[in-house]
Amino acid sequence: MAKITFVNDNKTVEVPAGTRLRKVIEDNGIGVYFPCGVGRCGACMVRIVKGMEFLNAVVGDEKKTLELSGASADKRLACMVVIEKDGEIVIETENVL
């Protein structure tokens, strides 16, 4: 199981590998907005404080959106993230730009 801590919400949950971060956020009432849901708008940007190595690679529209926004390497779009491996992941959801 992957252990995900949402710093701003003071909440920790465990999920199996293969789970989409968007589902975790929606199922647990975490304050992230998903207007497009396909990695194009950037509204669901989060900061991965710890555990980037347990997530899928940044590709496609997510990569383009992050590059265009000038996001640092610790940023991801929550709608595109899949937890691929078990481990500890720490995420900031507010004021990440």
Q: Is 97 within the bounds of a domain?
A: no
One digit per residue, pLDDT tens: the chain, 97 residues? 999 999 999 999 999 999 999 999 999 999 999 999 999 999 999 999 999 999 999 999 999 999 999 999 999 999 999 999 999 999 999 876 5
Q: What is the CATH number of the domain that holds 50?
A: 3.10.20.30
Please state the three-class secondary structure of the chain as a single string.
CEEEEEHHHCEEEEECCCCEHHHHHHHCCCCCCCCCCCCCCCCCEEEEEECHHHECCCCHHHHHHHHHHCCCCCEEEHHHCEECCCCEEEEECCCCC
Residue 61 belongs to some domain of the structure: yes
- Domain of 12 in residue numbering reads as 2-92
* Residue 27: inside a domain: yes
With 0.85 as the threshold, say if the pTM is over it. yes
Measure the CA–CA gap between 39 and 3, rounded to whole angstroms: 24
**In terms of DSSP bridges, do strands 88-92 and 2-6 run parallel, antiparallel, or are they unpaired?**
parallel
Q: How many domains does the chain have?
A: 1
Question: Which residues, in sequence order, are bridge partners of residue 11?
Answer: 6
The predicted structure's pLDDT at residue 65: 97
Which pLDDT does position 94 carry in this prediction? 80
